Chain A
């Protein structure tokens, strides 16, 4: 349902932001990685949209997944804005917190879902 892709995208965005903050990676590399994570989130969302629930349980699961993917997408967008440093953009620190929260939510959700593949 796209959860694994979202976990991977959020994980990549977190490492990109952290390594840019630590001075290991260049801003260009971090921005590229976060942009790519955004593209991957779109693919994860498409996968979730394509999923057809068959009963009440899978409908509830899909709702939870859609919610978590939406949050992850927002967290990655905020990470992108933080890196770009636009006026009013969240700080790198708060973008990282948001990504961590999203990663924890996705991990919890993945644990509840059926084995991924």
Chain B
């Protein structure tokens, strides 16, 4: 019974923890501009993150080693350093977006300017990372993030024309205000939002933190294979709300307030209160994960002592890295840069950096020295190879499309 409860809790946490500021913003932007036409990208992206997390979770459980220890070992110090720099930069960019997201959500609740919330949010993130136990931190943020289900409730209450939404998703209806280049630019952004590298660093390092063994493979697989797809459904609800309320009125989402407004219209002030709570929980949870992921990446690569299972004094450089990353995030945000803009860039650059971590994990998941008899099967390798091609195409096309579309403007 206790085991089933642990699996259920893990799944709920995975659902609630799936959505972050990148998913909130990108799905709403896409819904407001393309309706449900890019729903297929969410499906592809969720499939990819399931595959990636499942492989890295398996590697962590069997070998007891996390992503960046393996990357350094497999790629060597030089290529590994280039990989580390790119991955940490993307993770810090995502952390900046998440801290900005917390501040924006608190602004919606309080009316107080986000600039005043930014240091408070970053301090709270640090305090939780410093003081709170890993499992409590992970479960509370994930469970509170589940309140984002209110997007689904609001969508039903809005009473959209389901046939229209279905035909947008399946028949790729035309978008007179858009060009094919912006369509593909946002397809990559949505893919990057679903397959953010930090999620995998966090997932695999979390496996080491929680001392996973071979016995935990079933639980880890259930969390990924059930939790992430249901999290993807939340993403589709966000896009559906924007497609129903904002697309017909010609409002292109460029602010968090516009992302949550459809919930207020569908589910009233109670719905609004719940969705703001959900956004704070989702962005706060993701800020914890990205902050930790930056620390994990640097510490694992350099062979420093790391992890929340150790007292901070025993993993001083790991904690110092997190503090420095949070300070960088705060300083960037205090320049007055729009957190939504940072988010939009972070999801695209996530797509650019994705092959750097996907490929080593794919190689190691096939190496019996690391995973023993639990190497990828033929079918899994076939699917993983298809994804490798998709990931490479997205990574190569992202920057040219960004330039050609002026970042989707």
Contact = CB atoms under 8 A, between A and B. Distances in A.
Nearest to B176: A115
A32 B340 CA distance: 15
Contacts of A117: 178-179, 182, 409
Interface stretch (A3-11, A56-64, A85-93): A3-11
Contact of B272 (A11, A26, A40): A26
Nearest to A20: B264
Contacts of A15: 245-246, 249, 251, 261, 265
A2 B272 CA distance: 31
Interface of B, helix, strand, loop or mixed by DSSP: helix
B265 A24 contact: yes
A15 B246 CA distance: 9
B277 to A, nearest CB: 14
Contact of A32 (B111, B178, B179, B251): B111
Nearest to B276: A29
Interface in A64-117: 116-117
B250 A33 contact: no
Contacts of A12: 251, 255, 258
Contacts of B258: 12, 33, 36
B252 interface: yes
Contacts of B265: 15, 19, 24-25
A19 B261 contact: yes
Contacts of A40: 254
A1 interface: no
Is the contact region of chain A dominated by helix, strand, or loop, or is it mixed?
Answer: helix
Nearest to A27: B111
Interface in B234-249: 245-246, 249
Given A19-B264, A117-B182, A29 B255 contact: no
B253 to A, nearest CB: 9
B252 A4 contact: yes
Given A26-B269, A29-B108, A116-B177, A36 B264 contact: no
A14 B251 CA distance: 10
A8 B110 contact: no
Contacts of B177: 4, 116
B368 interface: no
Interface in B155-206: 177-179, 182
Nearest to A33: B257
B111 A33 contact: no
Nearest to B107: A32
Interface string A31-47: 11100100010000000
Given A8-B250, A33-B261, A28 B268 contact: no
Nearest to B406: A117
Contact of B269 (A7, A8, A24): A24
B251 A11 contact: yes
Given A15-B261, A16-B261, A8 B111 contact: no
B260 interface: yes
A32 B110 CA distance: 10
B254 A24 contact: no
B124 interface: no
A93 to B, nearest CB: 19
A46 B251 CA distance: 19
A47 B255 CA distance: 19
Q: Tell which of B246, B258, B268, B409 has the most Cβ of chain A within 10 Å.
A: B258
B252 A29 contact: no
B181 to A, nearest CB: 9
Interface in B103-161: 107-111
Contacts of B409: 117
A44 to B, nearest CB: 11
Given A11-B250, A25-B264, 12 more contacts: A8-B250, A8-B252, A14-B249, A15-B245, A15-B251, A23-B269, A24-B264, A25-B272, A26-B269, A32-B108, A36-B258, A116-B177
Interface of B: 107-111, 177-179, 182, 245-246, 249-252, 254-255, 257-258, 260-261, 264-265, 268-269, 272, 409
21 contacts: A4-B252, A5-B252, A8-B254, A11-B250, A15-B251, A19-B261, A23-B269, A24-B265, A24-B268, A25-B264, A26-B269, A29-B260, A29-B261, A31-B111, A32-B255, A32-B257, A33-B257, A33-B261, A36-B258, A116-B177, A117-B179
